[in-house]
């Protein structure tokens, strides 16, 4: 079956209604029902509870409390690198932004302007830059951390669809990451601006940031923006910046000549938060998207 045919049912599903229902259930405190669902989820997806700060499944009052569980101290040490991986997950794609085009999958690209909600001035800062798209599966740790030190400038909530973001859907839905609902966070670092975008998906009840709390819901159906330029809101490398209340994908954007990716990175490689993502550019070149080994 082709990927486009495989994703056809997603066009027909009431994705927003399903997501709203999932969000309601995930926050509910249902005692034994919640515990049984968590037990099932851990077994079904192979969640490693040995890494959790609290490995006792029965102690979580809600599914979201379990899903956003913190890890034990030091299980994700920071690599001695200028840029570290912000999440646990797998590499969907990474490489060079070709002019303003981000590689999604064979036959599919989308623009930086579309990703950030239509702000062409913001998008222009990443012309011919580099990007990484990291997929968080259900079993993964779902907090997002800073890849480097940064000062928060803006946060943009872009309304959109709620397609799944698994690899099959990425291959089958054109412009997926610029169509789905997303929270775009813009930072300034010692090497210039960078974007960390949290992309929603079917059943992703909400997304939250460390400085704002839950961003969605509400879902008013229009673009919302918060500006922080007049505040000194700084986050250190490795510090938590946000979380998915049910998982999804992170897309990072960096300007040209900023980042040289870790040579050990490759498409579909499993990655861990805190491992080396790359060093400052000038000591090599970024791989071209879609051609990484």
Q: What residues are annotated to the active site?
A: 88, 145, 248
Question: CA 237, CA 275: separation in Å to the nearest integer?
Answer: 12
Strands (E) in the chain, as ranges, are 83-84, 89-96, 101-105, 108-111, 130-135, 143-145, 150-158, 182-189, 192-199, 206-209, 213-216, 224-227, 234-235, 240-245, 249-254, 259-261, 270-271, 276-280
- Tell me the β-bridge partners of 276: 84
Q: Compute CA distances 189 → 149, 194, 223, 248, 261, whole Å.
A: 6, 7, 25, 25, 17
Question: CA 258, CA 125: separation in Å to the nearest integer?
Answer: 12
Residues constituting the chain: 293
Q: Compute CA distances 19 → 11, 172, 176, 248, whole Å.
A: 14, 21, 17, 13
The answer for 130, left when phi > 0, alpha when psi is -120 to 50, beta otherwise, is: beta
Q: For the purposes of burial, counting CB atoms within 10 Å of the CB of 272, is it exposed (0-12), middle (13-18) or buried (19 or more)?
A: middle
CB atoms within 10 A of CB 109: 17
For residue 191, what are the contacts with CB-CB under 8 A and spacing of at least 6?
82, 148, 254, 255, 258, 259, 280
Helix H or strand E encompassing 112: helix 112-115
The DSSP call for residue 27 is: H
């Amino acid at each position: 079956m082709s990927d486009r045919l495989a994703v056809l049912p997603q066009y027909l599903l009431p994705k927003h209604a399903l997501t709203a229902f999932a969000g309601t259930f995930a926050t509910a405190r249902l005692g034994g029902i919640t515990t049984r669902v968590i037990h099932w989820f851990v077994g079904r997806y192979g969640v490693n509870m040995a890494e959790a700060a609290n490995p006792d499944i029965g102690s979580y009052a809600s599914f979201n409390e379990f899903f956003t569980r913190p890890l034990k101290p030091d299980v994700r040490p920071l690599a001695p690198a200028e840029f570290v991986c912000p999440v646990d997950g797998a590499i969907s794609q990474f490489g060079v932004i070709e002019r303003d085009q981000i590689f999604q999958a064979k036959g599919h690209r989308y623009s930086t302007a579309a990703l950030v909600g239509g702000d062409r001035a913001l998008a222009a800062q990443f012309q011919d830059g580099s990007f990484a798209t990291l997929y968080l599966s259900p079993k993964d740790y779902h907090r997002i951390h800073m890849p480097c030190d940064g000062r928060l400038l803006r946060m943009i909530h872009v309304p959109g669809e709620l397609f799944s973001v698994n690899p099959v859907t990425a291959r089958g839905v054109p412009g997926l990451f610029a169509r789905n609902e997303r929270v775009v966070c813009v930072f300034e670092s010692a090497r210039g601006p960078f974007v960390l975008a949290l992309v929603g998906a079917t059943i992703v009840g909400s997304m939250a940031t460390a400085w704002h709390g839950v961003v969605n819901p509400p879902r008013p159906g229009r673009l919302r923006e918060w500006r922080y330029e007049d505040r000194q809101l700084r986050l250190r490398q490795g510090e938590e910046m946000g979380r998915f209340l049910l998982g999804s994908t992170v897309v990072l954007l960096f300007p040209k000549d900023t980042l040289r990716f870790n040579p050990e990175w490759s498409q579909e490689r499993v990655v861990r938060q805190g491992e080396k993502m790359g060093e400052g550019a000038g000591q090599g070149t970024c791989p071209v998207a879609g051609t990484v080994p």
